[in-house]
Structure 1
Amino acid sequence: MPNQTPATSSLAQDVRPGPDSSLTADDVLRAAEDLVPLLREGAAATDDSRRISGDTYRRLEDAGFLHILKPKKYEGLELTDHEHAMVTLTLARGCASTAWVFSVLSAGNIALLAFPEEVQDEVWGPDPYATLAGNINLNPKAKVERVQGGYRLSGQWGFCSGSDFSKWLMFNAPAGENGEGHMFLVDQKEAVVIDDWFPTGLRGTGSRSMAIEDVFVPDRRILPMREIRPLLEQRRALHPTFDSLWSSWPAAGRFPFAAVAVGAALGAADHFAETAASATRVASAVGGVAKLADQEYVATEFAEAAGELDMARTLVDQRSLEASRRAAAHQPPTPTELMRDTRDNALVTRIALRNVQRIASLVGAKGGNPAHPVSLAKRDVEMASHHVTLNWRRAAIDYMATAAQG
């Protein structure tokens, strides 16, 4: 049975210290912008290898990105949903997979704060850079057996984005008398990787399945899913200066997945604008060459696409800033605000998808090369758009129902 003695929150001398505590919101946003050229250069290789490189991940750590949504007690920066959203969007302009991994792992820090302080110490005490991956969707087929002091858990969970680098995993399995969903926190060393991640887009996220077999999970590392929100409210007393604990959970206001889609589409627009002056297409079925910059239809289509993407970016910026201001004022979002943010997550993704496809059509057959930046961005946005939280029809129906109630 695993050692059930929690670690202390004091860092051992040989543990790598956290990022500079004086880093500001402007600092992390600037660092994200500085990283874009490097991410863009390596995006095709990331796509081909189906994971981001260790060097890239270390750069995310060094820049303090994974400490944006972390309390000061664990060397966090205690920044906001706005910084999370805009760093995600910015990184995606260079590599959507890198942005997705950052966003998932950064947001996972908040989930950990629902656990008791001894568990927070257990995870971050020995390593302030420790992150959580996994899947919080219920796996009804998981096997859960009650034993003294906890449960023994077996099962398999897919779509574990960022698990290449996470030291801890979160899984949702049925437990208790009613078999309701519980979040189990498991050491990554106790899991087996199943290499089944071969999608068309977001290939570099490494969102492979993870399996565990008869692993003991102590009670302190198990929470009913229905209690996550009220427990996060209780933890405000433990981290009184960390305003992000006043955000909703999961927080639509930080645009965790939609910002990836918008950023990737903006990256495609960036590439097209930079190369349009010299780019050509076959003029007609009988041959000839046409310069893209000379074509009126190219100008009108690209101008509209770029403009709509700028509007989507502005919406992410504004809504995430509003969410951060509510949290700073310790004002929980109203049902109307929650539904509006959920609507806007789906809306900006819809805009990103439509316009990256338009830009890809301007590139023509050359975009059939999977390493072409616009082709890569298009596939990444298409994959992101399939996320359950970005379903436009569901979001529209829920928003209409809330709006109709006044």
Structure 2
Amino acid sequence: MKKHNPLLQDLKAILPAIAANAEHTEQLRKVPQENIDLLKQVGLHRAFLPKTYGGLEISLPEFTDCIAALAGACCSTAWAFSLLCTHNHQLAMFPKETQDEVWKDNPDATACSSIAPFGQYEEAEGGIRFSGDMRWSSGSDHAEWAIVGFNRQVGEQKVYCFAVIPASDYQIEDDWHAMAMKGSGTKTLQIRNVFVPERRIQVAKDMMEGRSAGFGLYPDSKIYFTPYRPYFASGFAAMSLGVAERMLEVFREVTRNRVRAYTGARVGAATPALMRLAESTHQVKAARAFLEATWEEHKEHGERHEYPSRETLTYWRTNQAYAVKMCIQAVDRLFEAIGGNNWFNDKEAQRLFRDVHMTGAHAYTDYDVCAQILGRELMGLEPDPSLL
């Protein structure tokens, strides 16, 4: 039996307003400020904020339930805001001095990101000077900080690192013109020769293995003795699930009273519609059960202050990718039979169809990659660095 989730209950009260804003969100190509304000009013942005700064430190299953529900109302909003939330978990692994910079005077502050290591840098006294056009930064219009990726030369090796940069040090290029997640505001950060002190730089691998500067700052916490990446990526599968669950509802609403234009036949009572709805319902319920079991493992490891094995990490990532694949299949099965009227831009079903496919387009949820990762693990082969 699930524990009561007060944050989810508060969130549900504002979802009708966010759903009503969904078409406007797409037209705006970013999350409207009113959506951000509503979500901050219920405190969702504080889900992974340390309690020291007034955060909630809720469990991953509680958070993903919230994101799934939010995605059912507006996946663009969920995509951007989920990342603004999960970046707090990542920032909690930076030194205390950095955390104070971000949150001490403004505990409502959030960070966007562009973590692929495409940034360029030069070594400087006390840090680096960073430059780059950092793409794919969702929710950047509403963030006070950015986490950006780069490969730093350390001896003979290139080491994947993150740098934290204030919004005052970059420009946002308004270049997000996409066919899905249209309102996520996933824009490009233009960064030019910005000084980043060492206290705002961390090694990615350290954040996966409990060696980051912030490790152990919160000994009573149940969520910070965990690798950063599963928390960072958890929202993608949660959003896919939320969209698929909403599609089940929309299909029933649209199909129940639909009649065929040329024959007058009732579609909602026809065997093909019933079978499609039944199979997609089973598939979505299976995806939820699979994800909940996976997220519960995340929670239990954090509560025990136990870092997962390589095998466990492999399952955590690939389980979520497979669940996304199931959700996409479930939505496709329904959309291809929901009728031509639902291809109009003002229909919810076509937006759900577009957005669910985007949830499977992220590097973390690409199942072609994930199947290879799991296959190698199952066969006892060493990980292929090109697949990570």
TM-score by length of 2: 0.91
What amino acid is aligned across from residue 393 of structure 1 in structure 2? D
Whether the 8 Å contact between 2:120 and 2:130 is mirrored in structure 1 is yes
Tell me if structure 2 keeps the 8 A contact 1:268–1:377. yes
**Stretch moving more, 370-379 or 39-48:** 39-48
State the SS of the aligned residue for 2:140: coil
Residue 33 of structure 1 deviates from its aligned partner by: 2.7
The Cα offsets for residues 291-334 of structure 1, whole Å up to 9 and x where unpaired, read as 32122111111111122112212222222122212211222222
2:120 maps to which residue? 143
Cα distance in 2 for residues equivalent to 1:292 and 1:56: 36
Of 237, 249, 258, 2:228 maps to 249
Higher alpha-carbon deviation: 220-229 or 261-270: 220-229
CA distance in 2, matches of 1:232, 1:203: 37
Matched, 1:156 2:156: no
Pair 1:202-2:187 in alignment:
no
Does the C-alpha gap of structure 1 residues 180 and 27 become closer, same or farther in structure 2, counting only changes over 3 Å? same
Q: Percent identity?
A: 24
Letter in 2 for 1:265: A
How many angstroms does 1:128 deviate by?
0.4
Distance 2:169 2:21 in 1: 31
**Deviation (angstroms), 1:223:** 2.2
Secondary structure of 1:237 counterpart: coil
Q: Deviations over 1:43-90 (max 9, x none)?
A: 122122111111111111111111111211111111111112111111
Q: C-alpha displacement at 1:252, in angstroms?
A: 6.1
1:197–1:208 Cα contact (<8 Å) kept:
yes
Deviation at 1:253, TM superposition (A): 9.4
CA–CA distance in structure 1, aligned partners of residues 152 and 373 of structure 2: 30
Q: Is the 8 A contact 2:145 2:166 kept in 1?
A: yes
The residue that corresponds to 1:14 in the other structure is none
Structure 1's 47 and 71: CA in aligned 2 closer, same or farther, altered over 3 A? Answer: same
Please tell me whether the aligned partners of residues 84 and 103 of structure 1 are also in contact (alpha carbons under 8 angstroms). Answer: no
Matches within 5 A, 1:326-365: 326-365=301-340
Q: TM-score, normalised by structure 1?
A: 0.87
Alignment of 1:1-400 (within 5 A): 26-139=5-118, 142-177=119-154, 178-230=157-209, 235-251=214-230, 255-282=234-261, 287-400=262-375
Q: How far apart in 2 are the matches of 1:290 and 1:339?
A: 49
**How many Å separate the matches in 2 of 1:105 and 1:25?**
24
Cα displacement (A) at 1:236: 4.2
The code of the aligned residue for 2:164 comes to L
Give ranges in structure 2 of 5+ residues lacking alignment.
Answer: 382-388
Conservation of the 8 A alpha-carbon contact between 2:244 and 2:330: yes
User: Counterpart amino acid of 1:163?
Assistant: S
CA distance in 1, matches of 2:68, 2:34: 20
Q: Deviations over 1:81-112 (max 9, x none)?
A: 11121111111111111111222111101111
On the 8 A contact 2:128/2:198 being kept in 1, the answer is: yes
Cα separation, 2, equivalents of 1:244 and 1:232 = 15
Between the aligned partners of 2:209 and 2:323, the Cα distance in structure 1 is 30
Q: Is the 8 A contact 2:173 2:189 kept in 1?
A: yes
1:41 Cα deviation from its structure 2 partner: 1.9
User: 5+ unaligned residues in a row in structure 1: which ranges?
Assistant: 1-23
Give the residue type in structure 2 aligned to 1:223. Answer: Q
- Does structure 1 retain, via aligned residues, the 8 Å contact 2:80–2:184? yes
- Seen in structure 2, the aligned counterparts of structure 1 residues 344 and 253 have a Cα distance that, compared at 3 Å, is farther
1:127: how far off?
Answer: 0.5
Query: SS of the counterpart of 2:49?
Result: coil
The more displaced of 184-193 and 328-337 is: 328-337
State the Cα deviation string for residues 155-212 of structure 1 (Å, max 9, x = none).
1111001111110011112334555333111111221111111111111110011111
8 Å contact from structure 1 (residues 252, 342) kept in 2: no
- Asked whether the equivalents of residues 201 and 379 of structure 1 are also in contact (C-alpha less than 8 Å), the reply is yes
Contact 1:51/1:205, CA 8 A, preserved across alignment: yes
1:281–1:246 Cα change, 3 Å: farther
Q: CA deviation at 1:132?
A: 0.9
Matched residues, number:
377
Deviations, residues 24-46 of structure 1 (Å, cap 9, x unaligned) = 96111212333332222221221
How far the C-alpha of 1:381 sits from its partner, in A, is: 0.7
* Contact in 2 for aligned 1:255/1:316 (Cα 8 Å): no
Q: CA deviation at 1:254?
A: 6.7
- AA matched with 2:370: A
Q: Distance in 2 between matches of 1:41 and 1:384?
A: 22
Cα 1:148–1:44 shift into 2, 3 Å = same
For 2:348 and 2:128, locate their aligned partners in 1 and report how far apart those are by CA, in whole Å. 47
Which residue identity is paired with 1:299?
L
Bigger drift between 267-276 and 190-199 goes to 267-276
SS at match of 2:137: coil
SS in structure 1 at match of 2:94:
coil
